[in-house]
């Protein structure tokens, strides 16, 4: 976490596309919050995704940004879903220190049926499957992957399960995405995407305070309060759960303002924001290197009109190659 703290009076200090780390010392909570605007809009509009798909991918991008910016080393953090629903694949990755890209794959016919039936909640679009979190530190370390089942619950809840299973850290995640319809400076109608999110984690100095709730106590347990949870975490989580989705995406409610609303009575402190950008990691040289691994027969089959064209699924950039470029040097 950065050392320099921004004054809480500086509302909207960070602005869109900046992740704001924060700390609530009175509750032993640390976390990050973000509002995504132009960066997210560029990713989604590039592919002209249907609204339900765009909204779902937006949440995945927010989750990836919130978790990826916590990396303390050079590497890549990837969130990927695979399910049997109309949206069978979502993938977003964050490459340190600031680059984000994302892509969604869906079945148009199944999506149309889901929309007609009103089944457009994230869990309905994804179906049953898995959500994978992958951390790649490069060639000098083995990638780490945590896998959580897509079981009909929200992405927020699934992310919480991941932290509980993999890191044993009490965590609450909030995600939201929204469409905005307004007018540009020339008065023309304009459509934009926004999204926001927050992750809060309970990190007290005494590790025994991080224990998870016990099982239900049976007769006489009315379930009013989770057994075994620390009072500070119960309070922090309850505060986070009061956030409305509109607050996470409203351009008039900046990230710092939202954090102040939530935690000012407990002494919230915000730190230097980190910008994130819509930048793909593809390149002509990378794709050429892959194609050079093709056999002569595969090169022949890949040609169309005397050339080979490869389009990046993330950024939609098309790279064109002459077959002679891919022949091994004599």
Determine how many CB atoms are found less than 10 A away from the CB of residue 296.
Answer: 11
pLDDT tens digits, one per residue of 160-189: 888 888 878 899 999 999 998 888 788 888
Q: 16-209+229-276 has which fold? A: Hsp33 domain (3.55.30)
DSSP track, 101-151: EEEEE--HHHHHHHHHTT--SHHHHH-SEEEEEEEE--TTS--EEEEEEE-
Which 8-state DSSP code applies to residue 279? -
Instruction: Provide, rounded to the nearest whole percent, the portion of the chain with pLDDT above 90.
Output: 62
Phi, psi of 245 (to 5 degrees): -60, -35
Assess contact for 238 and 210: CB atoms under 8 A.
no
Assess contact for 249 and 36: CB atoms under 8 A.
no
pLDDT tens digits, one per residue of 191-243: 899 999 999 999 987 666 766 554 344 444 444 444 568 899 999 999 999 99
3-class DSSP state for residue 201?
strand
Phi, psi of 239 (to 5 degrees): -65, -45
Q: What is the mean pLDDT of residues 20-37?
A: 96
**Model confidence at 12, in pLDDT bands (50, 70, 90)?**
low
Which pLDDT score, from 0 to 100, does residue 205 have?
76
pTM of the model: 0.86
Which pLDDT score, from 0 to 100, does residue 212 have?
58
Q: Where are the domains of the chain?
A: 16-209+229-276, 282-323
Choice between 142 and 82, residue whose per-residue pLDDT is larger:
82
């Amino acid at each position: 976490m950065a050392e320099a703290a921004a004054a809480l009076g500086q509302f909207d200090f960070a602005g869109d596309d900046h992740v704001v780390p924060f700390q609530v010392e009175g509750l032993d909570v640390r976390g990050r919050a973000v509002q995504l605007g132009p960066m997210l809009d560029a990713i989604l509009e590039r592919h002209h995704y249907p609204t339900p798909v765009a909204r779902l991918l937006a949440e995945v991008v927010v989750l990836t940004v919130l978790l990826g910016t916590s990396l303390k080393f050079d590497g890549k953090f990837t969130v990927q879903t695979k399910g049997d629903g109309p949206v069978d694949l979502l993938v977003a990755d964050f490459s340190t220190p600031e680059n984000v890209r994302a892509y969604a794959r869906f079945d148009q016919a199944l999506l149309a049926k889901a929309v007609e039936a009103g089944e457009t909640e994230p869990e309905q679009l994804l179906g049953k499957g898995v959500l994978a979190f992958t951390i790649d530190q490069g060639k000098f370390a083995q990638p780490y992957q945590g896998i959580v089942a897509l079981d009909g619950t929200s992405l927020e809840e699934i992310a919480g399960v991941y932290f509980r299973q993999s890191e044993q850290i009490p965590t609450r995640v909030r995600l939201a995405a929204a469409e905005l319809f307004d007018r540009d400076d020339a008065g023309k109608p304009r459509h934009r995407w926004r999204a926001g999110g927050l992750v809060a984690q309970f990190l007290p100095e005494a590790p025994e305070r991080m224990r998870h709730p016990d099982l239900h106590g049976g007769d006489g347990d009315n379930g009013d309060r989770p057994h075994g949870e620390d009072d500070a975490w119960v309070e922090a989580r309850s505060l986070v759960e009061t956030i409305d989705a509109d607050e996470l995406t409203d351009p008039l409610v900046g990230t710092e303002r939202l954090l102040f609303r939530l935690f000012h009575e407990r002494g919230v402190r915000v730190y230097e924001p980190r910008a994130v950008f819509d930048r793909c990691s593809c390149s002509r040289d990378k794709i050429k290197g892959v194609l050079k691994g093709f056999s002569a027969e595969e090169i022949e089959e890949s040609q169309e009109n005397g050339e080979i064209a490869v389009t990046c699924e993330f950024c939609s950039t098309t790279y064109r190659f002459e077959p002679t470029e891919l022949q091994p040097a004599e």
